[in-house]
Amino acid sequence: MTILQNIQEEDIEWRAHWLLSDEILYRCGDFDWVPLLRVWGAVRYVPLLVLRQYRSRQFIPATQRIAECEFSYRGDGYKKKIREISNAWNQTRWMKRLAVGPMTTLEYNEWWVRRINDNTPKSSQRNSQSIEDHLRKLEAEKLRKGKNKADEDLDRLEDRL
């Protein structure tokens, strides 16, 4: 555990050294990401979010419209989306791997902290309680419901007799 607590960024191998390429596919067509067709639908892959896996310097990627890429083959207009993705693969864009200085830019580190904090629910003063209090209340509610059900079952049995 001590090893993990003292680990530095340069101690991490983000990708197997034998899989490194000098170029990184980062965009297809008008998409700022790489759309991938799979058996049940499409997903987006954003190589610019994982540049460290390519031993390249991580910076803030474009993430606008990123959710538009995902779809299943059941929805309306999915055939049009498949054609759009297929055409995008005819217009791939590659970039040279950049490995100089620190693995992340200062702007990326700040963006990452904001991004993590944006995904963390903020607690309000009037509704804040500890996890232990919350678990105790859940357990008490579960016991109360169990007791109520047992009382109802007992009442039904008494009515039958």
Over residues 109-149, the pLDDT tens digits come to 777 777 666 655 554 444 445 556 656 776 788 788 888 88
Task: Find the length of the chain.
Answer: 161
Whether 42 maps to a domain, the answer reads: yes
**Total structural domains within the chain:** 1
Residue 112 backbone phi and psi in degrees, to 5 = -60, -45
């990627």: which residue's tokens?
61
Whether 4 maps to a domain, the answer reads: no
The average pLDDT across 99-118 equals 67
Q: Quote the pTM value.
A: 0.38
The pLDDT, as a whole number, for residue 125 is 45
The residue that leads in pLDDT, 66 or 161, is 161
- Cβ-Cβ contacts under 8 Å for 32 (sequence gap 6 or more): 46, 48, 61, 62, 63, 64, 65, 66
Which of 8-12, 90-94, 128-132, 144-148 comes out lowest in average pLDDT?
128-132
User: Three-class SS of residue 18?
Assistant: helix
50: containing domain:
11-117
User: CA 12, CA 52: separation in Å to the nearest integer?
Assistant: 10
Whether 126 maps to a domain, the answer reads: no
